[in-house]
Amino acid sequence: MYQRILVPIDGSSTSTRGLDEAVRLARLTGATLRLVHVLDELVFPTGFETGATYTHDVLPILKKTGEDILTNGAARVAAAGVTVDTLLMDCFAQRTSEVVIAQAQAWEADLIVLGTHGRRGIGRLLMGSDAEQIVRGARVSVLLVRAEEVAAGKPLHGAAPPVETPARGFATATA
């Protein structure tokens, strides 16, 4: 039974699909949600500025945006009557996936729920896949909720069509 569900969110529509699925599960099981937003230094690569300028000018903007994402997510969860807390983290020395996996372990999460674009092939190669890394590294079950376009049968460029096949402790939700 899932009682502690970790939900990484980034404010995207894909992330919101994952959050909504986590809320549905939490309502069914009485679980508590922990929303995590990870600040990623690669979100705004500039190549022009020194690290000091980046840290001084951009980091406060990233933090404020992350706080807003968490506040909005928590309000969405609370409106559904589910217990929620939030955590803003950075991954300046690690990959986002490593931070999420470590937080799931530290918080003793029973499940990680996250939205994914479902990219495959060249799309995954170019964009990377934190979701894939989380599935591979997590010690708990991971529920991947595919992007709306993929779930509706309209694959994104480089994405595989939706498949509901639980395997190795994770599942893909398409509804």
pLDDT in tens, the chain (175 residues): 899 999 999 999 999 999 999 999 999 999 999 999 998 765 445 554 445 555 667 788 889 999 999 999 999 999 999 999 999 998 777 888 999 999 999 999 999 999 987 655 444 444 447 888 899 999 999 999 987 654 455 544 444 443 333 334 444 444 4
pLDDT on residue 35: 98
SS3 state at 3: coil
pTM: 0.77
CA nearest neighbour of 32 among 89, 102, 100, 109: 109
Among the listed residues 156, 154, 152, the one whose alpha carbon sits nearest the alpha carbon of residue 119:
156
**Cβ atoms of 118 and 124 closer than 8 Å:** no
CATH number of 4-173: 3.40.50.620
Q: How many other CB atoms sit within 10 Å of the CB of residue 70? A: 20
Q: Where are the domains of the chain?
A: 4-173
CB atoms within 10 A of CB 94: 15
